[in-house]
Amino acid sequence: MRRSHLQIPATQRDLRSVVALVDAFCGANHVPVTLSNRMNLALDEVLSNIVNYAYSASEGGTIDVELTFSNNELTALVEDRGKPFDPLQVPQNDNQKGSLKDRQPGGLGLLFVKQLMDSVSYARSGDRNKLTLTIHVPST
């Protein structure tokens, strides 16, 4: 099993370093660029939500991202110490119906993440939110 870990401050500015980590890790493990891009898109949504909602403006916080590649699976484990939040329990809203101009902003990002990944799971462990994103990588 190959691993890479990064801890960043929970700020928008620091999210770029995660893209670089994913690109380098996937390149080193011969993961196709299309799958690397899918992981980056999902992580961008998840990490942006953590930055915007997990911590109060006064407390700040950190985000841990651990990438693993094993048994043809690329996995990202995202952990934070923010407010407890299980994104898999958010009810799907009716924001997908009607014309774009009539829709309320928001609510589609987590649906997008679920569609990009082969599996998504959540656990609360102690004071940490743990979200696991997995993509199956076909054998070459």
C-alpha–C-alpha distance, residues 35 and 18, integer Å = 15
Query: What is the model's pLDDT at position 109?
Result: 81
Contact 1, 64 (CB under 8 A): no
Question: What region does 66 belong to: left with phi over 0, alpha with psi -120 to 50, or beta?
Answer: beta
- Nearest one of 62, 36, 7 to 116, comparing CA atoms: 36
Domains of the chain, CATH where assigned: 2-136 (3.30.565.10)
Per-residue confidence in pLDDT tens, the chain, 140 aa: 899 999 999 999 999 999 999 999 999 999 999 999 999 999 999 999 999 999 987 788 999 999 999 999 999 999 999 999 998 887 766 555 666 566 555 567 888 899 999 999 999 999 999 999 999 999 87
- Which residues does 121 contact at the CB level (< 8 Å), separation at least 6? 88, 131, 132
pTM: 0.90
